Amino acid sequence: MTTLADVADQLKEARRQAGLTQQQLAQRVGLNRLTVGRMENLANGDMSVSALVGLLEAAGFDLKVVKAGHSRTLEDILAEQRRGDIPP
């Protein structure tokens, strides 16, 4: 299971891979740099999902839902079902 701390680490890594500072990423989304820092370090022990999605998108990443132990996303499975590749 992915913990909230894992998500915070992934956010930090996404920002670094995008070559952005916390300030630059925050500006792209219209957030305060302190908000990004708090989310990356779980300062409040929680994070806003809408802010997380926005920050990831601004860093060039998508948030995907993946069934535990699988590599295909929920989006992949639904697309396969629409094409008739797998039974519903």
CA-to-CA distance for 62 and 58, rounded, in angstroms? 9
> Structure tokens of 63?
């948030």
pLDDT exceeds cutoff 70 at 77: yes
CB atoms within 10 A of CB 63: 16
Domains of the chain, earliest start first:
4-63 (1.10.260.40)
Helices 49-58/33-41 angle, 10° precision: 110
For the chain, what's the residue count?
88
CB atoms within 10 A of CB 64: 11
pLDDT tens-place string over residues 8-58: 999 999 999 999 999 999 999 999 999 999 999 998 888 899 999 999 999
Contacts of 77 (CB under 8 A, 6+ apart): 67, 86
- The pTM of the full predicted model, rounded to 2 decimals, is 0.76
Contacts of 5 (CB under 8 A, 6+ apart): 42
